[in-house]
Structure 1
Amino acid sequence: MNPAPRPNQPKFELFGDTLSGRVLWLTVAIILIIELVVMLPGLGRERQAWLWDRIAHAHLATYPLAQSGATLSPQAQDSLLSFALDDEIILKEPGQPPLTLRTTRPIPPIDRSAVLTDETLWYSTWRAVIHLAGLGGREMQIIAPSPLQPGAVLEVTVNETPLDADLHAHAEHAFTVTVIMALVTGLLIFAVLDRLLVRPMRIITTSIINFREDPEQESASDLSWLANRPEDEISGAARELKSMQDEMRAALWRNARLAAVGTSVAKISHDLRNILSSALLVSDRLESINDPAVQRASRTLVSAVERSAQLVTRTVDFAREGPPPVVRSAVPLHDLVDEAALVVAPVNSGVAIRNEVPAPLVLSLDSGQIYRVLVNLMRNAAEAGCKTITVSTESRGGVTRMRVADDGPGLPLRVQDRLFQPFTSSGRYGGTGLGLAIARDLIRAHGGDLVLEETGPRGTVFAMDLTISETQI
């Protein structure tokens, strides 16, 4: 057997109201949010690094003066402070007077002070977010020990404008990298999800739509390819869907041919009944001849004609489209069972029919249809060789269950699974295989069901549920 051909490569549907597009952009959004959350502590570290750089540059600017004890002119101090990006530097060393460098430019009032040794990463991150939002101060004093000389402490006054520019540049770079990573990662994840989930869902959905539009036409092999994938939940669903579609197509094929059979039989039934009527008239005349051999042949002919008429009638009834119409009326069920027994008992004089249905029980039923069901079940039991048939009822919760039990040999195991399928005979001679199928349809038209409750060497029990309320007379 040739393997199912591989379907075309998937088409990425990145935009529009599609499952694949939503998967992509949801993945990108989630990754972007995660990356942005991870990026925030990086802004805090960037701010701390900038402040520590100011401390290191300030000590480098004052270190030669602290070692030599020389003094600088205001212009030289401005040059050093410009190098350090500071407005004022105060160096405090153990055992030495403070060394101060101050710009000649006017210094705005200090908005806040920061002791770097006391700042946490989370606080620095919060301050970085404030700077990005444009809510930071303009002048700031930094207090921190010198990273170049143990014991030395620096107090540096700086303008925060360069810090704002540095944080903005860092945030823009990090955001650009984050967006690129989110898009690339989202596309990769989307490709995997589209391959494993979205595309199989599209194949299953397409198969369902095609099956709904034309259930008898087998679609392309995409579903077969999906069902033949390695074992997982989706391939299992595809196999079950394919199996269901195959069974439905087979059922539709059978039903179409049954409908064709019913239409054909309905067209010829009238003429066939006339032919059978003529045969019955001839057989009646043959029975009047005083010849035992002729009489035996006439009885055989009558039996064959009656079976032929039954086959035509049951086939037409079963092939009729739609459920049988139900015309309800108040039916004394005990009397209806007696009427059905009169039809079965004279033909099979060795069969006893026990009617255990309560006499006052009246149900809203179609008497003609229930009569046909009872006659069919009783006749089947009698022809199977039983001696006693018992009809009883049981009522529970507004549902009346009627049982037809016999003491016959039971049903063969080979027919039990297909008992209610049309044209499936129970094995007796002359059976059409339509009686039980029609009987079940009649009970289901009443809102109940006909089931085989039990069967075995001690007998068979059929039960029918009649889901209607009881009334008393």
Structure 2
Amino acid sequence: MNDAKVTDLNASPLQSGLVAQVPLPDVAPARPRRHAFGLSIKLILLTIVFVMVSEVAAFVPSVSSYRVRFLEEKLATAQAAAVLLGSAAWDNVPRTVQDELLATVGATAIVLRTGKASRLLAAVEMPPSVDEVADLRDTSLWRSAQAAFTTLTAWTPRTLRVIGADRDGKSLELVISDRPLRAAMMRFAANILILSAVISILTAVLIYISLQRLLIRPMRQLAQAMVRYSEDPEDKSRIIEPSGRSDEIGIAEDKLAAMQNHLTESLAQKRHLADLGLAVSKVNHDLRNLLASAQLFSDRIAALPDPAVQRFAPKLIATLGRAIDYCQTTLAYGRAREREPQRRLVDLGRICREVADVLGLDHHATIVFDSRIEAGFEVDADPDQLFRVLLNLCRNAVQAMDGEADPAVVRRLFVEGRREGGVVVIRICDTGPGVSAKARQHLFQAFQGGVRPGGAGLGLAIAAEIVRAHGGTIALVDQSAPGAAFEITLPDRPIDFDLAARARVG
């Protein structure tokens, strides 16, 4: 059960308020994971598709080149036959032998062109009409690709006139059927497609194995680590352990580990604050009752005629009353912020004397307190809250100087105040050991900005919150003298000009 979300019906407002402000994050129910179209399947499919696209892009010029080579081989065969057909001895060869030679060449007619003159070397009795002219003297890629596509898509037989390149002023022309060419091109295209498919699959498998080891598996482990951590973010054993890789995945692992460590620490701190809020609310409730009883006793003591009692009893009663008001205010508001300031014109010198009385600085054995506030110096602030700010800062200074045992060390605490236009500047200085560099990093943050060992850092956090509520600032300022110096600026309230004008008229 989550302790930070359990509230007692009889708990005080602070108890429920503080606990409600630090809820632990709810882990959303995990969605069902679908592996049918995971990265691995998508990767291998995309690889196959891309390789096939590249093969298809190379398919067209390959088929075009094959068509040209096929026709050039036919012309080379016809060139050898033309030597026999052009000799004088061929005139006495029977017609059947000529037809066999044409069938061997795969042509229905062979023509020898010399210049502008043409000579029919051999032909069937009735040469068919020509459907397309294949001029091998022009073998540009576009023309060859267009002719190859026409041949592949020709479902009915066609007759081609093939014109060869000129050699020694002579060239051959063939009249052939496109069926053998188309059949050869279909076989070549099928082989190309099968080879492309095999290459695509092998390439996809190799790429898949490589990327599986380099990317997919580390990313899957990264996702599993995030899911496992999200199930219980407060368990430090669930924080991912970086693999030590130097690439982007290794950087992502390092950043994820750092983020998970920071989140785990933050959740632990929030749980600690929730537990602390519960404890403080209980202590505050009981402390208020004890202080009320002490106030009753102090009222009886104030009635005694002893001069010393009459001198200190009012201060004791005032201190107990202020402490009861603090407890009551905390219980009434029940949240981790101060109430809005109820600003009045306050005598800063009198507030400083009250702080000195509470801390026992009037007759302190080792610490000298010096109030350098001019008589009648006024501040526009909430008196109780300003008292708390000065009390926290002076108490920190006293505790820092009390920690030094050497009697020769000078221990002095003084408060200064000056006005700069509509802003009051208050400076609290001491001759203590100062503030360490580590404490400066989180100086005004609760439970992190303690300036002394064992301190919780709440005093400075409370002082900073009150000063900000007044619209002012608080800072640790550097000074040439030893010790620490805190400077507070409190601006006066802005004047409502409409109200001021009406008051002047009235």
For normalisation by structure 1, the TM-score amounts to 0.71
Q: Tell me which residue corresponds to 1:263.
A: 278
Partner of 2:442: 418
Deviation at 1:156, TM superposition (A): 0.6
Instruction: Using the TM superposition, give the Cα deviation of residue 193 of structure 1 relative to its aligned residue in structure 2, in angstroms.
Output: 2.6
CA contact (8 A) 2:394 2:428 kept: no
What one-letter code is carried by the residue in structure 2 that aligns with 1:181?
Answer: I
Superposition deviation, residue 186 in structure 1: 2.1
Instruction: State how far apart, in whole Å, the 1-side matches of 2:259 and 2:205 are.
Output: 35
Structure 2 counterpart of 1:336, which letter? Answer: R
Could you tell me how far apart the structure 2 residues matched to 1:234 and 1:423 are? 36
Q: Percent identity?
A: 25
Please give the alpha-carbon distance, in whole angstroms, between the structure 1 residues aligned to 2:384 and 2:153.
Answer: 88
- Give the deviation of 1:372 after TM superposition: 6.5
Please report how far the alpha carbon of residue 218 of structure 1 lies from its aligned counterpart in structure 2 after TM superposition: 4.2
Q: CA 1:373–1:32 in 2, change beyond 3 Å: closer, same or farther?
A: farther
Structure 1 stretches lacking a partner, 5+ long: 1-12, 358-366, 395-401
Are the counterparts in 1 of residues 292 and 324 from structure 2 also a CA contact under 8 Å? no
Contact 2:162 2:173 in 1 (8 A): yes
Task: Return closer, same or farther for 1:268/1:182 CA change in 2, 3 Å cut-off.
Answer: same
**Structure 2 spans left out of the alignment, 5+ residues:** 1-32, 357-370, 398-412, 500-506
Q: Alpha-carbon deviation of 1:52? A: 0.1
Cα distance, 1:245 vs structure 2:
0.9
Equivalent runs, 1:310-321 vs 2, <5 Å: none
1:185 aligned onto 2:209: no
Residues of 2 paired with 1:429 and 1:304: CA distance?
27
2:226 equivalent to 1:208: yes
Q: How do 1:89-100 residues align onto structure 2 when only pairs under 5 Å count? A: 89-92=110-113, 98-100=119-121
CA distance in structure 2 between the aligned counterparts of 1:137 and 1:356, rounded to whole angstroms: 110
**8 A contact 1:289–1:295 mirrored in 2:** yes
CA deviations on 1:355-405 (whole Å, 9 max, x unpaired) are 687xxxxxxxxx98xx776444344455543422357799xxxxxxx8854
Q: Separation in 2 of the partners of 1:14 and 1:75?
A: 74
Q: 1:250 maps to what in 2?
A: 265
Letter matched to residue 343 of structure 2: L
Output one character per residue of 1:71-102: Cα deviation in whole Å (capped at 9) or x when no partner: 34433332222211112111346999835211
Query: Helix, strand or coil for the counterpart of 1:387?
Result: strand
1:21-170 aligned at under 5 Å gives the runs 21-71=41-91, 72-92=93-113, 98-104=119-125, 107=128, 109-134=129-154, 138-145=158-165, 152-170=170-188
Q: Which TM-score applies when normalising by structure 2?
A: 0.67
Residue identity in the other structure for 2:162? I
Change (3 A) 1:57 1:340: farther
Shift of 1:23: 3.0
- How far off is 1:302 after superposition? 8.4
Once structures 1 and 2 are overlaid, which stretch shifts more, 300-309 or 70-79? 300-309
CA distance in 1, matches of 2:351, 2:427: 14
Give CA deviations for 1:428-462 in whole Å, capped at 9, x if unaligned: 89976323334556788x89997647444574335
Structure 1 residues 209 and 136: CA distance shift in structure 2, 3 A: farther
Aligned pair in 2 of structure 1 residues 145, 83: CA closer, same or farther (>3 Å)?
same
Give 1:160 shift.
Answer: 1.6
Q: Letter of the 1:377 partner, please give it.
A: V
Q: What is the CA deviation profile of residues 34-93 of structure 1, one whole-angstrom value per residue up to 9, with x for unaligned ones? A: 222123221121111011011012123333233453134433332222211112111346
The 3-state SS of whatever aligns with 2:122 is: strand
8 A Cα contact 2:348 2:373, kept in partner: no
Q: 1:94 to 1:418 in 2, by over 3 A?
A: closer
Q: Distance in 1 between matches of 2:232 and 2:385?
A: 37
Q: C-alpha root-mean-square deviation of aligned residues, in Å?
A: 4.8
**Distance (whole Å) between structure 1 residues aligned to residue 230 and residue 348 of structure 2:** 48
Contact kept, 8 Å, 2:64 with 2:141, in 1: the verdict is: yes
Structure 2 distance, partners of 1:464, 1:69, is: 127
Tell me if the contact between 2:389 and 2:466 (Cα under 8 Å) persists in the aligned partners.
no
Report if the CA contact (8 A) 1:20-1:198 is conserved. yes
Distance, in Å, in 1 between the alignment partners of 2:261 and 2:319 is 40
Identify the match of residue 190 of structure 2 among 168, 172, 178: 172
